[in-house]
């Protein structure tokens, strides 16, 4: 009888253990939902994009509970899902695989017409390596991959920044010279190491165009869409306006706005401009929630573009002007625009720009660039203008 009760007790304990295990479900992984990019207002600005993926030993370290290499793959997968169906080539090259000369850097995909399914399959199959970071080897090999296949290229580099920026910079210069076109570098940092962030910023500067980001800055669907627009797309060129005079109009600063209509003829090279030709972050670039001044993640790519321009012109001083549409009381709009301008200034200062080079002012609804009668007009008037100071 005692043995019988012992067996019943043991069975009960086992049943309770199974119930407890069943209740502890494995954590679910959220599925990335890409934001659709309407190509009605955009056109591809590159012929190809190349991924340089750090597969070195340090990418096995964990960051925010996940292996860095896994975070890198997830970001690239999200980028792949977000890219609209456009005609361009792509490739993935890893580095840091092993100590053997033949496979220190491996072309795991491309260079070929971009196919989302093939890209995803080869990305997921790419393995992590066992040696230190030699990013310059990947850039040198990418020069051979891309030679004769594309002239306008975006290079997306995913790494924790534990690399030699000078060696990588030399390899990037060789890539630019060989391609004989535009090669823009967009490094993305996995981790929060300040030295790594500085290294990635230096890598971006070596390309002469592009900008550096952190994984957090492009993690959301909206921010990833902004990143894809920044790296791969450009605003579609407006239809040419017939000119009565036979003389071709001048555009001295090359910003797409003719001198006769340009209120800011000294716009820095590469700056986004509004319809008056002035350096500006439009309402569609830097959106704020109603009655708020917090910067939304989708704005980071556009703010980082402005950072690259300011870093490229260290002597340039800038006035950050906040503007609103005419909705609401004028006095309140002036206060709101000032807070938004101050928040943009704080972002620049937090990312390394000397505060002595900046000043923020709020101009409210006092200087519209178009009428406020339509939603489109109000959207154009809600903007942050970056005025180059003498």
Report the CATH number that the domain containing residue 325 is assigned in CATH: 3.30.1330.60
What does the pLDDT look like over 41-77, one tens digit per residue?
Answer: 889 999 999 999 999 999 999 999 999 999 999 999 9
Q: What are phi and psi of 89, to 5 degrees?
A: -100, 160
What is the rounded average pLDDT of the residues 133-137? 87
pLDDT reported for residue 80 = 96
Residues 6+ apart with CB under 8 A from 205: 308, 311, 312
230 and 263 in a single domain? The answer is no
pLDDT at 184: 92
Q: DSSP per residue over 246-278, as a string?
A: SSPPP-TT-SSS-GGG-S-TTPPTT--B-TTS-
Please report the pLDDT score of residue 256 as a whole number.
Answer: 65
So what's the pLDDT on residue 41? 82
Rounded to an integer, what is the distance from CA 183 to the centroid of its chain? 15
Q: How many alpha carbons lie under 13 Å from residue 114 in its C-beta half-sphere?
A: 22
227 plus 284 within the same structural domain: no
> pTM for the full model?
0.62
3-state secondary structure 205-217: HHCCCECCEECHH
312 and 195 housed in the same domain: no
Which candidate, 374, 342, 372, 382, places its Cα nearest to that of 358? 342
Close Cβ partners of 347 (under 8 Å, ≥ 6 residues apart): 295, 303
**How far is C-alpha 69 from the chain's CA centre?**
19
223, 81: one domain: yes
Residue that has been written with the tokens 């939304």 in this structure: 296
Beta strand ranges found along the chain (DSSP E): 42-44, 48-54, 62-63, 66-67, 89-95, 105-113, 152-159, 182-189, 213-214, 233-235, 280-282, 317-323, 358-364, 383-389
* Domain boundaries, position 73: 39-234
Of the ranges 41-45, 105-109, 268-272, 284-288, the best mean pLDDT one: 105-109
User: pLDDT tens digits for 5-19?
Assistant: 455 444 454 445 443
Q: Are residues 207 and 273 in the same domain?
A: no
My answer on whether 112 and 164 are in the same domain is yes
The predicted-structure confidence for 186-228, as pLDDT tens digits, reads as follows 999 999 999 999 999 999 998 888 899 999 999 999 999 999 9
SS3 letters for 139-156?
HHHHHHHHCCCCCEEEEE
Least Cα distance to 333 among 298, 378, 376, 377 occurs for 378
């Amino acid at each position: 009888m005692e043995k019988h009760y012992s067996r019943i007790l043991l069975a009960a304990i086992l049943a309770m253990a199974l119930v407890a295990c069943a209740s502890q479900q494995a954590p679910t992984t959220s599925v990335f939902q890409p934001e659709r990019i309407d190509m009605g207002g955009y056109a591809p600005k590159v012929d190809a994009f190349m991924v340089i993926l750090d597969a070195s030993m340090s990418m096995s370290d964990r960051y925010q509970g996940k292996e860095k290499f896994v975070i890198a793959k997830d970001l690239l997968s999200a980028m792949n899902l977000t890219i609209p169906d456009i005609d361009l080539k792509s490739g993935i090259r890893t580095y840091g695989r092993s100590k053997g000369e033949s496979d220190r850097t491996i072309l795991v995909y491309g260079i070929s017409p971009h196919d989302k399914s093939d890209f995803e399959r080869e990305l997921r199959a790419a393995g992590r390596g066992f040696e230190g970071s030699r990013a310059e080897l990947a850039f040198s090999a990418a020069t051979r991959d891309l030679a004769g296949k594309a002239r306008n290229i975006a290079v997306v580099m995913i790494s924790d920044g534990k690399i030699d920026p000078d060696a990588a910079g030399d390899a990037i210069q060789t890539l630019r010279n060989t391609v004989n076109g535009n090669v823009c570098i967009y490094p993305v940092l996995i981790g929060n190491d300040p030295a790594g962030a500085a290294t990635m910023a230096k890598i971006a500067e070596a390309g002469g165009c592009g900008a550096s980001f952190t994984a957090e800055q492009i993690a959301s669907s909206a921010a990833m869409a902004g990143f894809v627009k920044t790296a791969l797309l450009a605003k579609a060129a407006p239809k040419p306006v017939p000119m009565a005079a036979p003389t071709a109009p001048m555009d001295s600063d090359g910003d797409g706005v003719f001198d006769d209509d340009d209120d800011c003829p000294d716009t820095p090279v590469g700056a986004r401009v509004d319809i008056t030709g002035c350096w500006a972050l439009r309402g569609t670039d830097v959106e704020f929630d109603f009655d708020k001044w917090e910067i939304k993640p989708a704005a980071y790519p556009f703010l980082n573009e402005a950072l690259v321009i300011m870093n490229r012109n260290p002597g340039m001083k800038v006035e950050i002007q906040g503007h609103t549409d005419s909705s609401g009381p004028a006095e309140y709009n002036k206060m709101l625009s000032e807070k938004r301008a101050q928040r943009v200034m704080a972002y620049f200062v937090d990312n390394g720009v000397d505060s002595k080079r900046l000043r923020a002012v709020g101009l409210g609804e006092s200087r519209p660039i178009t009428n406020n009668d339509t939603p489109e007009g109000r959207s154009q008037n809600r903007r942050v203008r970056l005025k180059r100071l003498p």
